[in-house]
Amino acid sequence: MSRLGFERPPPVLLAVIASTFFVGFGGGVVFPILPNLGAVLGISAFTVGMILSANRWVRLVANAPAGALVDRYGTRTPFVVGLFVEGVATLGYVVALAMPPAESLRPLAASLPTLAAGPLAVGPEGWFGAVALVVAPETWFLLARVLWGLGSAAVFATAYTIAADLSDGGSRGTNMGIVRGGITMGFPAGLVLGGVVSAVAGNVAAFVVAAAFALTASVVAYRYVPGTHVTGDRSGDSIKPWEVDTAVPAVTVGLVNFGLMFAYIGALFSTLVLFLGANDISLFGLAPQGTSGLFMAGTVLSAALFMLVGGRVSDTRDSRTPILLTFLVVSFVGFLLLARAGSVFSLGLACVFIGAGQGGTSGPMMALLADLTPDERMGRAFGDEQRPRRRGRRPRPDGVAPADRGGGIRSDLRRLRDTPARSGGRPPRRGAPGDRDVPPRTRDRRDESERAVKRRGLVIEGSFGVGGTPPL
């Protein structure tokens, strides 16, 4: 069925979107609280910064292994486990606030025996230091953020791989835009709920709500998302967890995303509060902090809308590149408008353009990466695409495309030149001569995957009515 030119995505893909929306919702609930941990816990701004950035640094390292695991073991297990880990990580915030004060455990530390090993000795003060570290809220917050980073690395790599597996050249851009839009929309919705719940019922209640949403996401995924990335017996192949996909498509998409996110988050979101104060711009009489939240929300909504639009338009064209370039220009114009903004209207217009540019590139860009990547490397490609996007970390400079990964950079350039997006887009599904890393596809395993997708689709439609989908 088509509405406004958009075909309804496969039921399984909608289950993926529901899962990522719920986990993004949970992440948004806790985000208004985390920057205020310094005031809540009495910890330094440096420690707060470490806690906030821990998940991003972990993802920088974990994205590539997550993609390799997807290529080796399929999508279902990493996706479900990743969502569950994010739910457990959110419960870690609750544990952090429930920890007793360290001073109340000083008698316990004093009762422990003194240990000595040569010149080293651990007495009551040493034991108390260890106990204080274990029960310190910042320790648990840091561990929770590390776990969240590990879980989200698996979730992002698998979500995009599932979308690629369920799409062809005529729907891939739309489906990529929908998945990314679902991830994006969950976060601002959670921001609103998190602020309300923490103000009304306290921080612990907000963290419990966030954990409930994240765990709900894992239940939805376990119930409705099948394995879609089955390409034969991979137990004896050469895929390593630390293997990084340095093929031209993955590196190019990663670097473009890095530039976009550097400007979008680093230049706009991190300076918007100061910009509003310096230019005396306000909405509804709110202070700069409150006003910045409204402008950020408008930017995110614009991005989410144009993620879908950009992906859909790219599916109707012979090449996705003109759409990508168009939205890159839109983003550029948005920042020019931002530099000259001096009123609510001009700033709002700039935010809409910036959001449209960032969002409009997302669907076509991820679809183009899927077009140009062999099925057997899809997980690694989407895992590695996230690495430059996290912190601008470049892939290792000494290995653009090793010879044992498909013929080197010339092969990748031929693939970029010769593979039209609309015609399905992917290179041949069987390993090319000399490509030791891509074994031939196994037909019976592929059929098994397709049957699993159909079964899950019938389960979803049976659970929510004919043509129904999981509620978002």
Contact 254, 387 (CB under 8 A): yes
pTM as predicted? 0.65
Per residue of the chain (472 residues), give pLDDT as tens.
455 455 666 677 788 888 888 877 777 777 667 767 777 778 887 888 888 888 888 888 887 788 777 777 777 888 889 999 998 998 998 998 888 888 888 888 888 888 877 777 787 888 888 888 888 888 999 999 999 989 988 888 788 778 777 776 667 677 777 777 777 777 777 767 777 787 788 888 888 888 888 888 888 888 887 766 555 444 445 555 556 656 666 677 777 777 777 777 767 776 777 788 888 888 888 777 667 777 877 888 888 888 878 877 877 777 778 888 888 899 899 989 988 888 889 888 998 999 888 888 877 777 777 666 655 555 555 544 454 444 443 333 333 333 333 333 334 434 444 444 444 444 433 333 333 333 333 334 444 445 555 555 555 555 555 444 444 4
Per-residue model confidence (pLDDT) at position 9: 64
Torsion, Cα of 239, 244, 248, 252 (10° steps):
140
- CATH number of the CATH domain containing 198: 1.20.1250.20
> What would you measure as the largest C-alpha separation in the chain, in angstroms?
77
Integer Cα distance of 34 and 77 in angstroms: 30
Integer Cα distance of 273 and 369 in angstroms: 35
Instruction: Determine, yes or no, domain membership for 431.
Output: no
Instruction: Determine, yes or no, domain membership for 397.
Output: yes
CA atoms within 13 A on the CB side of 231: 27
Per-residue model confidence (pLDDT) at position 274: 75
The DSSP-derived string for 276-311 is: HHHHT--STT--HHHHHHHHHHHHHHHHHHHHHHHH
Contact 393, 261 (CB under 8 A): no
Per-residue model confidence (pLDDT) at position 423: 42
Say how many domains are in the chain: 1
Instruction: Determine, yes or no, domain membership for 122.
Output: no
Q: Domain range for residue 151?
A: 2-111+127-416+443-464
Which whole-number Å values give the CA distances from 378 to 160, 320, 337, 375, in the listed order? 9, 19, 38, 5
Contact 278, 346 (CB under 8 A): no
Q: For residue 422, what are its two tokens?
A: 């609309």
Instruction: Determine, yes or no, domain membership for 270.
Output: yes
Residue 143 buriedness (CB in 10 A; 0-12 / 13-18 / 19+): middle
Instruction: Determine, yes or no, domain membership for 422.
Output: no
Instruction: Determine, yes or no, domain membership for 426.
Output: no
Three-class secondary structure of residue 361 per DSSP: helix
Per-residue model confidence (pLDDT) at position 253: 73
Per-residue model confidence (pLDDT) at position 157: 79
Integer Cα distance of 183 and 375 in angstroms: 23
Instruction: Determine, yes or no, domain membership for 423.
Output: no
Contact 206, 197 (CB under 8 A): yes
Instruction: Determine, yes or no, domain membership for 271.
Output: yes
Q: Tabulate helix, strand, coil % of the chain (nearest 5).
A: 70, 0, 25
